[in-house]
Amino acid sequence: MSEAARLPAALEPRLQSRLPWRLHPEAMAGLLLAGPAVLALTLLLLLPTAALLVLSLTDMELGGPPLRWIGLANYAELLGDPGFRIALRNTLVYVAAVLPLSVALGLGLALLIEGGTRGRAFFRAVFFLPVVSLLVSMATAWEYLLHPTIGPLNRALAAFGIAPVNWLGSSDWVLTSLCMIGVWENLGYVVVLFLAGLTAIPPELRAAAETDGARRGWDRFWLVTWPMLGPTTLFVVTITAIRCLRVFDTVATLTQGGPNKASEVLLHEMYLEGFTYFRIGYSAAITVVFLVVVLGLVLLQTRVLERRVHYQ
């Protein structure tokens, strides 16, 4: 081959390195692969979030006068709104009660199911049933179970001489009732996730721990099982916290935020302001605060738990 024919081939890598990134073959391939995901992220997340932020700075009302730019007036109104403060407090109380109970009970049940020799598939299906069931369709059952006069729960309490409780109609008990339903709703999801994490732990590690002196199951749990469940626990806590923060269907179906806003939560307050009172701007401001609370809680959990996670 002549020297003139070899010269362009030798210069080709140098010329390609000087081409703009948009013309480089590897960059074009990367854009083509990432393009659908970036487009979906932009259309489904970034643009709606930007629109939400813009709406929260206006006084938009459905059927009302043309919207005006009012800046932070909606957020200033939130600070002085007692209904919003009650909804925020109830939401945080709900998360503080349901999250640890769901995780602790879910882990315990997962250990019992995994340690059993029979009926694993049956118990997995039973505990996962609340997750695949529509809670709205289960509202009738819960209303019957918690009925103040004919409900089985009050009948069981009466057998021990305890007076009937108006679970869903009393300001003192309604949030407790919703927390019990929340634990029931999240328990199956947590159990299935922990079962997946337990299945991924090599049995040789437990056998080695037993050989080294960890004879009791409790010792093997703290030495092997719990550290190896670190990534699963981080995921379970994060997902369950988000599920608890976005509680809405039980409130909308069973209590409508009552009595006296004793069961009002953020998403139900946002729904009322936006779709009952048609105050879209104010509802958008509540949604922005809700997103900030979710993001803050997830970051806090990630920072605290990430340091204790042992990745396999």
The pTM for the full model equals 0.84
* 166-177 residue pLDDT tens: 999 999 999 999
Could you give the CA distance from residue 284 to residue 272 in angstroms, rounded to a whole number?
12
For residue 117, name the pLDDT band (cuts at 50, 70, 90). low
**Token pair for residue 130?**
């609340």
Mean pLDDT of 167-194: 92
Instruction: Please check whether the domain covering 75-306 is classified as CATH 1.10.3720.10.
Output: yes
For residue 230, name the pLDDT band (cuts at 50, 70, 90). confident
For residue 4, name the pLDDT band (cuts at 50, 70, 90). very low
* 74-85 residue pLDDT tens: 999 999 999 999
Give Cα 56 distance to the centre of its chain. 24
Residues 6+ apart with CB under 8 A from 147: 154
pLDDT at 91 over 70: yes
pLDDT at 156 over 60: yes
Task: Specify the DSSP class assigned to residue 162.
Answer: P
Could you give the CA distance from residue 187 to residue 109 in angstroms, rounded to a whole number?
9
Give the domain ranges of the chain: 3-40, 75-306
pLDDT at 148 over 80: yes
State the CB neighbour count (10 A cutoff) for residue 295: 10
Could you give the CA distance from residue 284 to residue 270 in angstroms, rounded to a whole number?
8
